[in-house]
């Protein structure tokens, strides 16, 4: 999607790991493919294997640190689209999900809502369209917890279609993949401070 001497922005397909996993069979991933072309490209953030969309890498340790800090300080604006089960409201309806999340240790890599041990987690949502038996949402994760969007939506009774980890079988079966896509990324260029904005249309 974008390339200069400081960073590269990629559009990850669903079903491809963002970073290497454990085992020889999990070494093919977006970051390894990027590093085959740009050996200096370094990972800054993550996307779930099942999630598609925008992914940025820094092209030096210095830029990696700057971008990592920008993500940690929430100065990078991220927006996702998802299709969830059920009717969440009329177009334009907005809300915020504030539910603390923690690792579900006996069932890793699953995460869970945990009012006692969970870390504060917040997701803004907006209804983009109503579909038969489903709702298309725009999502903005205020925090960046593992599986945050998937767990938050499941917790309020609207799991994402095709979610093999958190949706019941009948909702998993409604789509051939997880219907979650990183559609928008806005950040300041780490070298110049120039505002950058990238958009990738949801492929579903």
Nearest to 45 by CA among 15, 7, 81, 14: 7
Residue 28 appears among annotated catalytic residues? no
Number of H helices, E strands in the chain: 4, 12
How far apart (Å, rounded) are the C-alpha atoms in residues 196 and 34?
A: 20
Task: Tell me the β-bridge partners of 84.
Answer: 135, 160
CB of 138 within 8 A of CB of 155? no
CB of 162 within 8 A of CB of 177? yes
3-state secondary structure of 29: coil
Catalytic-role residue among 4, 48, 104, 114: 48
How far apart (Å, rounded) are the C-alpha atoms in residues 95 and 84?
A: 15
Nearest to 63 by CA among 151, 203, 189, 179: 189
Task: Tell me the β-bridge partners of 102.
Answer: 112
Report the catalytic residues: 48
């Amino acid at each position: 999607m974008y390339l200069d001497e400081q960073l590269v922005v990629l559009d990850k397909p669903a079903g491809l790991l963002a970073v290497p996993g454990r085992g020889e069979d999990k070494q093919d991933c977006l970051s390894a493919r990027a590093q085959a072309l740009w050996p200096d490209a370094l990972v800054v953030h993550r996307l779930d294997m099942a999630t598609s969309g925008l992914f940025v890498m820094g092209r030096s340790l210095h830029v990696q640190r700057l971008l990592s800090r920008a993500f940690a300080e929430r100065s990078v604006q991220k927006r996702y689209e998802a299709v969830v089960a059920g009717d969440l409201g009329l177009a334009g309806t907005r809300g915020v999900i504030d539910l603390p999340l923690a690792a579900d240790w006996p069932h890793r890599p699953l995460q869970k809502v945990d009012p006692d041990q969970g870390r504060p987690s917040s997701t803004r949502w907006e209804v983009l369209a109503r579909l038969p038996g489903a709702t298309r949402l725009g999502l903005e994760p205020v925090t960046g917890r593992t599986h945050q969007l998937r767990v938050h939506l499941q917790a309020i009774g609207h799991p994402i279609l095709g979610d093999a980890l958190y949706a019941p079988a009948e909702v998993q079966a409604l789509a051939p993949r997880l219907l979650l896509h990183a559609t928008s990324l806005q950040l300041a260029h780490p070298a110049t401070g120039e505002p950058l904005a990238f958009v990738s249309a949801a492929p579903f």
